[in-house]
Amino acid sequence: MNISTIKKNNTRTKLAIDILIFVGFLVAMDPRSTGIAVHEWLTVASMTAVIIHLLLSWDWIVQLTKHFFTMSVLRPRINYVLNALLFIDVILIMYTGIMISESFVPFLGFSLPRNFGMRELHDLTANLFVPLLGLHTALHWNWIVNAFKRYVFQPIGHLFGSKRALQNISVEE
Amino acid sequence: MKTIGRILIILLATTVVVGATWALTRNGVNAQFAPGEGRFRPDGDFGGEELFPEQPPQGLDPGQRPEGFREGVFERAHRGDFFLFGWLRNIGIIAVIVAVVVFAESLWNHRRINQAVKTSMNGPQTK
C-alpha cells in the first residue's frame, strides 16, 4: 500500500468518524428529546470516537506543538488554541457529566450524591461546547467541503452517472 | 505500541484536566462550582469554612434546589417531552458561526490578493 492510498483511507476514516462525532454530540446535546440514558451512553461512546479523531490527527498535533512558538502564520495557532480549549471543554463535560450521572455510573455499580455545583458546571461547559464546535467546524471548513466532494458527492455522482449510462445502453439496445 | 502510547498521552492529558478541575473545586477557588454534598471529602479536619456541607442549604430537602436556581439539563431531560428545538438551535448556532467565519476569511483573503496584485502592478517603489 503506497502513501497516497494510506492518506486517502485516513481521510475517509476521519470524515466518517467526524460525521459520527458531530451527529452523536448533536443528539446527545439535547437530552430533552433523547432522555437521560441515551444522553449519557451516547456521550460516553462519543468519547471513544473523540480519541480516534485525536489519533488520526496526531501528526498535525505533534507538528503544531513543536512549532507553535516559531511559526509565522497566525491561523494554525488560533486553530491549535481553539482545539486545546475544545479538548478541555469536552473533558470537563465528561467529568461533570459522570459526577452527576443517573444512568452510566449507577450501571457500573457506583452511587454519587446529587451535586448542584457540578450540574451548573456541566450546563456551563455544555453551553460553551456549541460555539467552540462551530468555530472548530468553521476553521476546518475547506477540508470538510473537499472531503465531502471527494468521498460523498463524487461517488454519488458516479453512481447516478453509471446508472444513466446503463439506461442509455439499454435504450440503444 | 505507538497507538497505545498515544492513547496513554491523551488519557494523561485528560487526567491533568480532571485533576485541575477537582483541585479547583475542592479548594474552593471557584466556590460556586464546589460540590454540594460531602461524599468526596476525605476524613479529617481541614479547618476553615465548610465547602461541602452534608446538609442541603437553608433547610432544603436533599435534591431540592434553592429558589432562583437555574433549570439544568437534568430537569429538562426528566420533563420527557420530545423537543426538536434543541437540535435546531444547536445546528443554527453552528451554521451561523461557520457562515460568519468562512465569509470573513474569504473577504480577508480577497483583500490580501487584491493588495498583492496592486503592489505587483505598481512595480517596485522607486525614489
Q: Which residues of A touch B21 (CB under 8 A)?
A: 92, 95
Q: Give the gap in angstroms from C-alpha A84 to the nearest C-alpha of chain B.
A: 10
pLDDT for A11-41, tens place per residue? Answer: 888 899 889 888 888 888 888 878 888 899 9
Chain B contacts of A145, Cβ < 8 Å? none
Q: Do A69 and A37 form a contact (C-beta atoms < 8 A)?
A: no
Question: Of A26, A30, A94, A102, which to mutate for an interface test with B (greatest number of B Cβ within 10 Å)?
Answer: A30
Query: Is B98–A141 a contact, with Cβ atoms under 8 angstroms apart?
Result: yes
Judge whether A91 is closer than 8 Å to chain B, CB to CB: yes
Q: In sequence order, what are the residues at sequence separation of 6 or more whose Cβ sits closer than 8 angstroms to the Cβ of residue A103?
A: A36, A37, A40, A41
Q: Is A145 on the interface with B (CB under 8 A)?
A: no
Residues 6+ away with beta carbon under 8 Å from A113: B35, B36, B37, B38, B39
Q: Are A122 and A72 in contact (CB under 8 A)?
A: no
Give the residue from A148, A46, A169 showing the smallest Cα distance to A97.
A46
- Chain B, nearest residue to A98 by Cα: B18
Instruction: Give percent of chain A with pLDDT exceeding 90.
Output: 31
Query: A156 to chain B, minimum CA–CA distance in Å?
Result: 24
Are the beta carbons of A92 and B17 separated by less than 8 Å? yes
Residue B86 and residue A30 in contact, taking contact as beta carbons nearer than 8 Å: yes
pLDDT of A73 > 50? The answer is yes
What is the per-residue pLDDT across B98-114, written as a single tens digit (0 to 9) for each? Answer: 999 999 989 988 888 88
Select from B32, B70, B30, B36 the least CA-distant residue to A100. Answer: B36
Q: How far is A101 from chain B (nearest CA, A)?
A: 9
Q: What is the pLDDT of residues A101-129, one digit of tens each?
A: 888 888 888 887 777 788 889 999 999 99
Q: Fill in the amino acid letter for B65.
A: R
d(CA B27, CA B48): 11
Cα A109 versus chain centre, distance = 29
C-alpha to C-alpha distance for A30 and A40, rounded to whole angstroms: 11
User: Which three three-digit cell numbers place residue B57?
Assistant: 442549604
pLDDT at B47: 43
Phi, psi at A70, each rounded to 5°: -100, -20
Cα end-to-end distance, chain B, whole Å: 64
Please, are residues B77 and A36 in contact by the beta-carbon 8 Å criterion?
Answer: yes
Does the complex come out with an ipTM higher than 0.85?
no
pTM over 0.90: no
